[in-house]
Structure 1
Amino acid sequence: MSNPKLVVFDLDYTLWAFWVQGVDPPFHKDKSTGDTAGANQLLSLYNLDQYISFKQIYPGSKVTHFKRLQADSGVPFTDMMFFDDEQRNITDVSSLGVHCVLVHHGVATKLVNEELQHFLKKRCLTASQPDRTSDGH
């Protein structure tokens, strides 16, 4: 069994402990700068860009975003993992077949490693289930 092909992290209250909308470092209000520009700037300031090979920052519906991610990347939903701090997003994106993780106190290496193990276990269980579609059931 393989690891997820695409791991997605929500930004606000997941990768960092604040909400970036409407603020830019040095964190003053600036209505002329969009959320996406501020988020990109923070990813760079936190040196997180080095870990990102496929980046999309999409304000709005997480379901719409994941459909766009799937179309742009070609990765099936079942090969994706998503970390977010909001239960409504976890519920919505889970319905697509994405392995979702509710983050309570920010993302940490331990949490990511534990969830990679859960992802693999879920994969193994699914693979060991008999294929009911091939035998007419």
Structure 2
Amino acid sequence: MKLFVFDLDFTLWDAGGTWCDATNPPYYWSNGALLDQSNSEIELYPDVIPLLEELKRNNQKIAAASRTFEPGWAQDLLHLFDIDKYFDLKEIYPSSKIQHFSKIKKHFGLNYGDMVFFDDEHRNIHEVVELGVEAVWVDDGLRKEQVFRYLK
């Protein structure tokens, strides 16, 4: 069994072309779009909900690992997109991915080799690969085929 770990910004969502900690909350829904106070739209990538649902149907464990200076804002977005319910653990705070993964490893009692991580930043990919985590670079939003190939 693999533990599926996801970054947030530019992996699960696009926060108006920036990171969620550079947005202007509070967020609100208007005509089906999630906006911040600057009227910038924050969009969940289309495959995110179907792939999270499929992972849960397959009894997979899911964690978030996000390096952000505004963890509360990221939590708000998870809640507003109604995807926080899929995560078994959320490591969301300003720190190295090494610290995120150390806590994830301890929480689940798994080896790093039992984890697969999806992120849009090469520096994060390089950090976790050094730990022995399988890492997948995400370009322009997470896609189902990137994730489902790890379902056994």
Residue 47 (structure 2) aligns with: none
**Cα offsets for 1:52-73 (capped at 9, x unmatched):** 1222213221112111221222
Out of 28, 40, 54, the position equivalent to 2:37 is: 28
Out of 7, 11, 14, the position equivalent to 2:8 is: 11
Out of 83, 90, 94, the position equivalent to 2:118 is: 83
Q: How does 1:1-137 map to 2 (within 5 A)?
A: 3-4=1-2, 6-18=3-15, 19-23=19-23, 24=25, 25-26=27-28, 27-28=36-37, 35-114=70-149, 116=150
Q: Which structure's residues are more often helix, by fraction? A: 1
**Cα offsets for 1:27-52 (capped at 9, x unmatched):** 238xxxx6111101101111112211
Q: Whole-Å Cα distance in 2 between the matches of residues 58 and 69 of structure 1?
A: 13
Structure 1 unaligned spans of 5+ = 121-137
Q: Whole-Å Cα distance in 1 between the matches of residues 147 and 75 of structure 2?
A: 22
Runs of 4+ in 1 over 6 A off after TM superposition: none
Look up the equivalent residue of 1:17 and give its one-letter code. Answer: D
Q: Whole-Å Cα distance in 2 between the matches of residues 90 and 71 of structure 1?
A: 20
Identity percentage over the alignment?
Answer: 39
**CA-atom RMSD in angstroms:** 1.8
Paired residues in the alignment total: 110
Whether the 8 Å CA contact 2:71–2:93 is kept in 1: the answer is yes
Q: Whole-Å Cα distance in 2 between the matches of residues 105 and 17 of structure 1?
A: 9
Q: Whole-Å Cα distance in 1 between the matches of residues 9 and 141 of structure 2?
A: 9
Look up the equivalent residue of 1:28 and give its one-letter code. Answer: Q
